[in-house]
A and B are shown apart, each in its own frame.
Chain A
Amino acid sequence: MNYDIGQPIKHFLLILGAIIVILPFYSMISYSFQSQGEIETGKNSKGEKAGFLGTQEKIVDQFCFKSNTPEKEEVNSLMLKMPGKTEREVYNILLKNVTENCLKKPAFMNYTQAFTKAPLLRYLLNGVIVTASIFLLQVVVALPAAYALAKLRFVGREFIFTLVLLCLLIPIHAVALPLYIMLAKLGLTNSYAALIIPWTISVFGIFLMRQFFMTVPDDYIDAGRMDGMSEFSIIWRVMLPTAVPALLAFAIFSVVAHWNDYFWPRVVITGDPDLFTPPLGMRVFKQDTEGDLHGPMMAVAVTIVTPLIVAFLIAQKRFIEGITFSGMK
């Protein structure tokens, strides 16, 4: 046996890398099961170690407690049934009941709070509407543009392609303010349009599809022309079906970016919480004066990333095909 010292080192480095990538997800999932105390100290009230799933020691749900705090009338009506007790004593009995009723396992509590305190289903629906619209519009714009840049001969083609490449270098944050002002002047802030329109032209999409179309043989296009297709028919009926792997790769980049985007929705959605996208849902648990509620926040985070991870696992094979397509042929 020839023992290669390089192999264990390589594996060690790869494992290290994997740990660095996985660790935040590990904490996110673990925290989503734990109470605030466990998250902050790593122990429960009896001093037991929390571990991955937490100890699931029951704690008082603060939201439940606050909304059920006994009110004057309740105390008064109970005082009639319990003669001989002071107002304070009755109040304490009621309070004890409430506290007991609001005792919940932290995992259950975090996830119910995520879906009740923040209308997370609504946010998820918004996320689907926004990311799907963005992707579809990006395809509608990018495919014809990429086709023209890859396959048609016209004056200024190289110049336009250079502009596309230059646009790849501009970060969104640089143009966020002018974009916001434009949308505000058009009266479009706080609308789906504000979330979607700035993203419809994806230079990355144009660039990626152009590179893919360069590898598609011209014969397909000529065959389409001989068969009587218009240039747009060629794009939708010939180029689109051959470009499915590349489109899938682009879809993942686009959907992941806009599903997870916190910055832009935060800028243009200022009032109406009905338009919040899933990442904004985490803000509900960011309570500046009383400290953040990390448990429910992490529950929201888990809920947001799960659809993406499931989608990736389903499309994994095609996704990797898409990334390596340039190596084919």
Chain B
Amino acid sequence: MSNIQVKEIYKSYGNTSVIEDISIEIKSKEFITLVGPSGCGKSTLLRIIAGLEQINSGRIYIDQKDVTFVRPSDRNLAMVFQSYALYPHLTVKENMLTPLKLRDLSSFQRFPLIGKYFAKKELEKLDILVSETAEILRLKKLLNRKPGQLSGGQRQRAALGRAMVRKPIAFLMDEPLSNLDAALRVHMRSELSELHKKLGITFIYVTHDQAEALTMSNRMAVMMDGRILQLDEPNKIYSEPNCIKVAEFIGSPKINILPATTDKLGYLSIGNFKSNFKTKIKNTKIFVGFRSENIILNKKTNQFNGSVKHIENLGSDYFLHLKVKSFSDKIIIRIPHSDFTNIKVDSSINFSINLEKILFFDVDGVRFNASYHTFQKKIA
């Protein structure tokens, strides 16, 4: 068991605060993703867990042991960097041996040129560890190459190898896929998920790509402005975001947010459309959100009419960007390939919102449950 606990940490550079009161408990063997726009503090949080950054206040525990002031290498964590940071002058094998040598050999045995003659037994053991890891990552044939002679994906695997060899209690990954091309990135996503299952080690994964977070993780933490806005399973975050910011960040295309009101009896109206959908709240200004797929193209009882401003063809689906009168923002709807017939820019489209799937936010952007039976305002 090796859980990692972060308690009430604050971090600032001069007057600019980067991390504000973050507490998070990472369970053993979990794949957790820290996701957020750039500058939200997710990489800083990862580096704090690694021990590469000092904090202003707070505590970090690994297995209930306080490691706040413990050196990075003594925390037994391994990190995979965005740039891979493979030592360019060493071969893949030497790269993988480096952390092992530093951990297992005395400084005398690491002495240049002559040290290795006094550490034959140890070096043999380390060689076995390296070749085991190379086996798992299919690196065997590349062991004697230098990083410059590897492709992007191979470098990625070599960097993983260097992190894996010393069997750390957790992997910290800082946007490890962002330097790869699109096809390889999708492929590596599934490889990383498989690797996580095979190794049974905690993964802490930082990304700005919500798709990576949704596809790979057991839990994900959505961060913004140095705070964790929501920490939950990916499907929960997608279907029950606790505020507009999270709703807007997760999901592609972006969720549609529209101003709405409820009348004296609690009936909801969105723009000019008065629905017979009854809510628990009365006479209030709110926001409603619905995802692009939660619409119905129905020619009899249409709620809205919009003109097509832009069409995105994704093959299986089409995204239509619509201008609907009474709303300033464009509305994006998703149409399956089969329903797409003769739609052009400036065509007129009639559609309805699936009111069952609608999300309610108060004027401050906090989501609440407004349907008949439960009315409970959640606190972000």
Contact = CB atoms under 8 A, between A and B. Distances in A.
B39 interface: no
Given A227-B73, A238-B87, A242-B89, A219 B81 contact: yes
B79 A223 contact: yes
Interface string A231-258: 0010001100110100000000000000
B81 A222 contact: yes
B88 A242 contact: yes
Given A219-B81, A227-B73, A241-B88, 10 more contacts: A220-B87, A222-B52, A222-B79, A223-B81, A223-B85, A225-B72, A228-B73, A228-B74, A229-B73, A238-B87
B83 interface: yes
Contact of A226 (B73, B83, B87, B90): B73
For the residues of A in contact with B, the DSSP-based class is: helix
B81 A241 contact: no
Interface residues of B, number: 26
A313 to B, nearest CB: 25
A241 B85 contact: no
16 contacts: A217-B85, A219-B85, A220-B85, A222-B47, A223-B85, A225-B52, A225-B72, A226-B50, A226-B72, A226-B78, A227-B73, A228-B102, A229-B73, A237-B87, A241-B87, A241-B90
A225 B74 CA distance: 10
Given A241-B87, A241-B88, A241-B89, A229 B102 contact: yes
Interface string B86-129: 11111000000011001100000000000000000000000000
B106 to A, nearest CB: 13
Nearest to B75: A226
B78 to A, nearest CB: 7
Contacts of B269: none
Interface string A197-236: 0000000000000000000010110110111110001000
B77 interface: yes
B325 to A, nearest CB: 51
B371 to A, nearest CB: 49
Contacts of B50: 222, 226
Contacts of B74: 228
Contacts of B87: 220, 223, 237-238, 241
A227 B99 contact: yes
Contacts of B103: 228
A241 B112 CA distance: 14
Contacts of B71: 225
Interface string A267-300: 0000000000000000000000000000000000
A244 B99 CA distance: 23
A217 B83 CA distance: 9
Nearest to A238: B87
A218 to B, nearest CB: 9
A233 B99 CA distance: 12
Interface in A97-147: none
B167 to A, nearest CB: 14
B154 interface: no
Contacts of A217: 83, 85
A230 to B, nearest CB: 9
A214 to B, nearest CB: 16
B218 interface: no
A182 to B, nearest CB: 35
Given A217-B85, A220-B87, A226 B77 contact: yes
B85 A228 contact: no
A238 B248 CA distance: 42
Interface in B24-73: 47, 50-52, 71-73
A228 B99 contact: yes
Contacts of A220: 85, 87
